[in-house]
Amino acid sequence: MDVDRPSTWKKFTSDEVCHSCVASCCTMPVEVTLTDLIRLNLVTEDEVQNMGIRKVAKKLVKEKWISTYREGTGLFMLTQKANRDCIFLDTRTRRCTNYQLRPDVCRQFPSIGPRPGFCPYIKNG
Ligand code: SF4
């Protein structure tokens, strides 16, 4: 199984499989919306109003929450750690540290994604 090659992914059967996985889906690049960032408490609606989206993006890059902002799509890329883990993934437990507030794209995966209905399952241990 290769995370970068969706053709090698496994068919996703139910959330049950997530309990025994190393969270390899959380090592893939994650693009999020401004609504996601507000829900994650990384920025407030007031800050967006007062600073404008470009300055907000600059601030979030500086704080290392996001790596890039694409004006064309209005999407922000969450920062990945050196080992590719999402900034919110607990390296040891392999669980999201912000699960209740996680971005929409994480909630919808793998219904949406590079290969809908399939995921890069890697057994933990
Ligand atoms: S926000 Fe949470 S669920 Fe989404 S990729 Fe990061 S660790 Fe995984």
Ligand 1 in reach of 66 Cβ (< 6 A): no
Instruction: Assess whether the C-beta atom of 34 lies below 6 angstroms from ligand 1.
Output: no
Rounded-to-integer distance, Cα 59 and Cα 65, Å: 9
Does the Cβ of 60 fall within 6 Å of ligand 1? no
Counting from 1 in the atom list of ligand 1, the atom nearest the Cα of 105 is 4
What are the start-end ranges of the H helices in the chain? Answer: 34-39, 45-51, 53-62, 104-108
Q: What is the pLDDT at residue 125?
A: 83
Q: In this structure, what token pair is assigned to residue 56?
A: 């907000």
Give the number of other CB atoms < 10 A from CB of residue 80. Answer: 17
Alpha helices (H) in 53-125, listed in sequence order = 53-62, 104-108
Q: Is the CB of 37 under 6 A from ligand 1?
A: no
Average pLDDT score over residue span 26-46? 98
Per-residue pLDDT tens digits for 73-110: 999 999 999 999 999 999 999 999 999 999 999 999 99
